[in-house]
Structure 1
Amino acid sequence: MRRYDDPVEVRRGGDGPEQFLWHGRLWKVRAVLAHWVETGPWWQGSVARAAIGSDEPGSEPTPVGDLLGERELWRVEAGRGADGGLDGGGVFDLSFDWADGRWQLVGCED
């Protein structure tokens, strides 16, 4: 799977993304293959470092906000066009970042 970090516009349906616009092309979701939530790298935050004693002496730990950075991901099968049938399509990983309300395409296999 190729990795990306591209912003996309997403239209949500009842169970997740229905359509997305990527590089000016409309993709119609045919099926949601997987759905999961990832937390941010909390283990790299100063609170975690302080807890295991690897932080610099005398430094103040940052608030627990390290634990709150999470994003929701969907792996979807999609094809181009309003009906999703203009090509063979592909499998895409779409993420929604709860902290900033943005959608991104993070992976593609076509």
Structure 2
Amino acid sequence: MRRYDDPVEVRKGGDGPEQFLWRGRLWKVRAVLAHWVETGPWWQGPVARVAIGSQEPTESAPVGDLLGERELWRVEAGRGLEGGPDGGGVFDLSFDWVDGRWQLVGCED
């Protein structure tokens, strides 16, 4: 799977993404293959450093690094008819809860 870090616009339906716009092209989701949540590297943040004693606590110590999660969807999507020249591929779409943005993070076509 090729890795990307491209912003996308996503239209969600009941079970997840239904369509997404990537590089000026509209892709229709045919199937959701997987769905999972990843947490950020909380162990590298200031709260963890304070906990292990490598950083002094401050009153404004952020707690957001413990809450940084992104939701990932692995979908099969295409632009044309199934089996046609635009038969599509498998895409990993990520939704970042911290900033509310969607990104395409992987593609296998």
Q: Which TM class, normalised by the smaller chain length? A: 0.7 to 0.9
Q: Which sections of structure 2, spanning at least 5 residues, go unmatched?
A: none
Q: CA RMSD in A?
A: 1.8
* Cα deviation code 1:6-60 (max 9, x no counterpart): 01111111000001110111111111000011111111001112222333xx463
Q: Is the 8 A contact 1:7 1:103 kept in 2?
A: yes
Q: Which sections of structure 1, spanning at least 5 residues, go unmatched?
A: none
**Percent identity of equivalent pairs:** 87
The match for 2:69 is 70
After superposing on structure 2, the runs of 4+ consecutive aligned residues of structure 1 that deviate more than 4 Å are 83-86
Aligned residues: 107
The match for 1:89 is 88
Query: TM-score, normalised on structure 1?
Result: 0.86
For 1:16-55, what aligned pairs fall within 5 Å after superposition?
Answer: 16-55=16-55
Relative to structure 1, is the Cα distance of residues 27 and 84 closer, same or farther in structure 2, using a 3 angstrom cutoff?
Answer: farther
Q: Distance in 1 between matches of 2:95 and 2:77?
A: 17
Q: Distance in 1 between matches of 2:82 and 2:28?
A: 5
